Every structure is written in structure tokens, then in C-alpha cells.
Chain A
Amino acid sequence: MIKAIPFALLLLLTSWQVTAMADAADSVKSPLGYGSKNYVWGKMTREQADILRLTGDAKRGKEAFRGCRGCHKADAAGIVDGTYPRLTGQHPSVVIKQVTEVRAGVRINPKMDPFAAEHAVSKQEIADISVYLATLETTRENGKGPDDLSAKGKAVYKKHHCAKCHGDNGEGEEAKAFPAVAAQHYGYLLREMRHIKDGTRGNSHPEMVKVIKPLTYNDLEAVADYLSRLPDYRLATKGDKK
């Protein structure tokens, strides 16, 4: 009898996990995330603050990143259809914010969960991985949109003040944990913007939701295409003295 109970529980948990995963592709709202009563963007979890105080080491990070390579790939370039985002050159503060907020249940990511959870990766390892990823060059082609909509996308990006946070070259900002978005896979960018628009990206910046809400699906496609065709921001800003 005693043995039978945990087994039943396990079954329940497993089926819950599978449903959650299927749904995630099409938006699950986090009870703690954007839109919930006490949501404050950028309110750091204890864990996030702890990790930001640690000194990361790229060599150790490379080793710890092994457990991530199965999805994000050995070169951390993700996959072209955007199911798995590119992580090369992402700001350490952003990597730390995203992983810890997935762990805290603010951003929902059941696919990644068991491989990035507290029991799988330590705080120090997250600090190490974040430093390691920032050192990686992007060598593989990223996924682009089916048609070149970059002119329209650029106009939307300008008009709706995206550059205020993501920068003129899609470079984001390390100090504020604004993600770099240039040269990311089209499929990933489009999916995230859809989730930001419908309020299901748990850790959305409320100011960003305001500017993305009025955009049409065609606008989002155009912006995603534009950003996917920008070069890695580290190339774009090299020698940029302005």
C-alpha cells in the first residue's frame, strides 16, 4: 500500500508535466508573472541577487554548459527554427535573470525545467555559464523570416521606441538586463513577441507590453525578420565611436 501511493503520485505528476509542456507552446500564464497582482518587473529573487554577486569563470562554465548543449547545441547557437534560442553573446545579467526566473516560476519553460532546475545546476554554475556564453562568437547562420521584411520591421522598431531598451543595433543593455535581440532566430523572436503581446511571457516589462500590444501580427513578423537579419551586435558596435 505504502509503495502504491507514491507511484500514483508519480503518474499524476508525469501526466501533469506532459500537459504543461504541450500547452507551453501555446501560452500558459504564470500565476506569479506579468498580469498577476503583485508582479513588479525586475524585482529580484534572492537567488538572482546571490548569483549576481558571484564571480563567474568561463572555463568552468564551459563544463557546466554540457548539460545545456542537448538543446542549445555545443556552440550555443540554438536551432534555426527558433525552438531553442541562440545564447551566444547574450548579456550575463540576462542569462542569469532568465534562468532564475524560470526556476522561480515567473517565466514558464517546462521543456527546459528539469535541466536547469536547482537540483541540476548550482548558483555558481549559472554564474559560470553566463560568463562563458558571453565569450562565444556566433559562427552559424541564424534562422531568418521567409521574406525580407526588414525595411518595414526597422520602421516599426523605430516608431515604437524599442531601441530605448534594446538599442539601435539590437544590443540590449547589460546593466539593466535588457536582452540583446540582434541575430536571434526569427522563430524565437516571433514566438516571444506573441507571448509578450498576449501577456503570457511571465517576466515581461510592462512598458514593453504597452508598446507591443498595439502591433499587428504582420508588424511582429516584420520586426522579427528585421532583428533576425541584423548582425551580431558585437560586430555592429565594433569601432562604433559615436
Chain B
Amino acid sequence: MADHPLLELRGVSKRFGAVQALSKVDFETRAGEVMALVGDNGAGKSTLIKGIAGIYPFDEGEIYFDGNKVTIHGPRDAAALGIEVVYQDLALADNLDVVANMFLGREKKKSFWRLDEASMEKECVATLDSLSVTTLRSVRLPVASLSGGQRQAIAVAKAVMRNSRLVILDEPTAALGVAQTRQVLDLVRRLADKGLGVILISHNLHDIFEVADRITVLRLGQKVAQFVASETTQQEVVHAITAGTLSHVPGMVVEE
């Protein structure tokens, strides 16, 4: 494990109108570890990762990647750093088929501005195979016709297929059955063991204790605790989620 974090956030805040979704959050994760991010509904987990992914900028705070200060202005910047996100709301285009979704925004091309469908399809099938996603009838079906679990698998595979260094998963198992949850968790562990950084958001502490190395707890937009998974208990984490000590009053604008 590298001694400097793969990703480090220092004092990031984000406000939506009257809602202070994040205030002065410090956060870090290392290569080769699964960092779980937990917190109640509305705690700011999704907001945190959308900021990392460049969906919108943080209002303040700094981002360090690999020890270097970086600015992330859009999804392309995040992708260029090797950051890939699987969103809670999936972010698949229902009308496009599996292959098109897997390569969306990063299509392979050949001469005359043409899409290289054959090699995209081949790589898509290979990636799905390597993740043991075998329930698909065809990779040329529109995503709309897939089950929730299949869609989630596609979304995970999409993030994995790129040569990513940090994969962020926002509730990847929320809609899955037992077997598919198992597969996704195995996959999450495998990614970290390959040396990638993994941030896993989940409400299921059982899942988290199974795969996570460390756990960061957010509450009302603030970081209230950070645990090493092997040195804590579910009770302790639940307590932090529901009653962790806030450093300042939520909703109040934080002044320097």
C-alpha cells in the first residue's frame, strides 16, 4: 500500500441553495483498499462523489490525486485521472444497447469517422465474461430491456473496463438479489486486490464489513468518524451514522 493517499480531499464544501450538502469534509482513500462511505439518506455521500467525478465543482476545498493538487472541471478531467464512477441512478441510456452504453463517450473509431462496432462488442463481451456476467442474452439488446441486476452489472463493468485507478460505486448492490450482490462484492474486492482504489457507498453494513478496509462516516454533510473495519463493530458505526458528533451546526453557513 502506498503511503500517500491515492485521493485526498481537504475541506470540501457544497451548497445547493438553502441546503449545505457538504461542509468542510476531509476524505482520503489509498490504492489497494476499499474505503466505505456511509451515512444516512441525505448525508451528502452522492454529493461528495459527484464532486470527485466532476459532475459539479465543490464550492471550496482542495483535491489531491497521487499527492498532486488537481482541479476537476468535468467528467473528462476525472476520467483522465483514472476516476470512474458507478452512479446510484445508473446513468445508462435506456435506448442504447449494452455495447453502446459501455463505451459511451469513449467510442472506438476507425477510418472515416466510423464507430468500430466489432472491436467494441468484442471487448464488451470479454469484460462481461471476466466479471462472470453471464445472464445476458445479447449485448445488442437495449438496456431498457434488462433486469435491475443486469443493469447494475453493466454499470459496474463499464467503470471497470476503462483502465481506471479509482472506482467509485454508489450503492451498487441496492437493487440486487443475493447471488448478484455476492458477485458485485467479490468484484469490488478483486478490484482493490488488483491495486485499484475503491470507494464503496452502501447502506448495508453487513456488505461493508465483508469487503471494506476502512469506513468513513458522513452525517448531515460533515465527516463525523473514520474507522478501520477490522477494529470496529457494526454498533459503533451505526452510532456514528445516527448520532456522530457534529463540529458545527448543520444548515449554518460556514465562514472562514
A complexed with B: no
